[in-house]
Structure 1
Amino acid sequence: MISLGELTFTRRAWLPAAPHPLYDLVTDVSMIGSWSPTAVAAEYDDGAGPRPGAWFSGRNQRGGRTWRSRSQVETAEPGAEFSFVVGGLAEGIVRWRWTFTADGPGTVVAQHWQVLRLDPVLGSTREELLTLREVMAASAESTLLAMCRWVSEQAA
């Protein structure tokens, strides 16, 4: 089969802004549809926001398939790190983690993806799971590039 260690990746990009404003963009989950080719919409539950334990719902699409997800915030350290687990902290299947590191006049933003446990919704064969990892890595790269373009246009 496959080990969970194989189902992870990190993608990075340098963005022309300080860590705190970029953290604020990422933690405003309603903005994700502006950049991601996969996550097209998200919103926090009523009264929730970017704090540990908070929940949000998302709508995703890939290859003509659309689905909803529920995620719970794991870490929310302004200007440094934001992570959430799809399916919730107790029984989630995938962790998304964003880190923000000041670098000269900008920030290195890293997007990390990690499968926490195997679930049929992710795929049932090694090939399907590795394909999912590659598709999600490409989506993360597209998201980071689109964010960079968006931030640059806002500054102009």
Structure 2
Amino acid sequence: MSEQLPGHVDDPVMSYSESIDIDAPVSSVWDMVTSLERYGEWSSENTGGYWRKGPDGESGTGQVGDMFVGVNKRDGQEWKAPVEIIRRVENEDFAFVTGGLEYNIVLWRYQLAPMGDGTTLTESWTLRQLSPRMLEHGQKEVDYRAHNARTSLQATLAAMKAAAEV
């Protein structure tokens, strides 16, 4: 049985994951995975973003509890999505949830495993509960978001591999 992450729901709406082998050390892949502000270099949907300031007035750096605002664009639509870092195990496991734990909509998780001199990177997308837009527009919107997540996940893994192997 896998470990439950903060905000766990017993019956997620749906999930998808995919793995890729990367000819680069775990530490190099880890640096990419935890650099949310660079995701615009690899994602087919995310164009970048910024760390929010915490209660101490300092910008987040990717630690558990830090908030990041991702800027996304697809099919001519642009939107921002706040995420909260919920897991960080150095060089092994990094996860964040869209809407933060308050709204707990989508879990994005990156798990790294050594593979010889390289790394196996697994990216997972778990729809924990429907967003207000999904509730408003129904199954068509859910299917649209799931399709986007799959294509974005595949593009992100392939682009991270290409960037890491340069």
TM normalised by structure 2 equals 0.84
| Aligned residue in 2 for 1:34 | 41
| Aligned residue in 2 for 1:115 | 127
One-letter amino acid of the structure 1 residue matched with residue 75 of structure 2: G
Question: What is the Cα deviation at residue 146 of structure 1?
Answer: 0.8
Question: Please, which of 88, 93, 109 is the counterpart of residue 81 of structure 1?
Answer: 93
Q: What is the 5 A alignment of 1:1-156?
A: 5-45=12-52, 46-122=58-134, 124-153=137-166
Cα distance between partner residues in 2 of 1:42 and 1:76: 19
Match of 1:141, SS state, is helix
Q: Which sections of structure 1, spanning at least 5 residues, go unmatched?
A: none
Cα distance between partner residues in 2 of 1:125 and 1:118: 9
Asked if 1 retains the 8 angstrom alpha-carbon contact of 2:30 and 2:91, the reply is yes
Cα distance between partner residues in 1 of 2:140 and 2:133: 14
Cα distance between partner residues in 2 of 1:139 and 1:125: 21
- Alignment length, in residue pairs? 150
Asked if 2 retains the 8 angstrom alpha-carbon contact of 1:8 and 1:115, the reply is yes
For the aligned residue pairs, the C-alpha RMSD in angstroms reads 1.5
One-letter amino acid of the structure 2 residue matched with residue 150 of structure 1: A
Asked if 1 retains the 8 angstrom alpha-carbon contact of 2:28 and 2:164, the reply is no
Match of 1:75, SS state, is strand
Match of 2:149, SS state, is helix
Q: Which sections of structure 2, spanning at least 5 residues, go unmatched?
A: 1-10, 53-57
TM normalised by structure 1 equals 0.89
Match of 1:113, SS state, is strand
One-letter amino acid of the structure 2 residue matched with residue 73 of structure 1: I
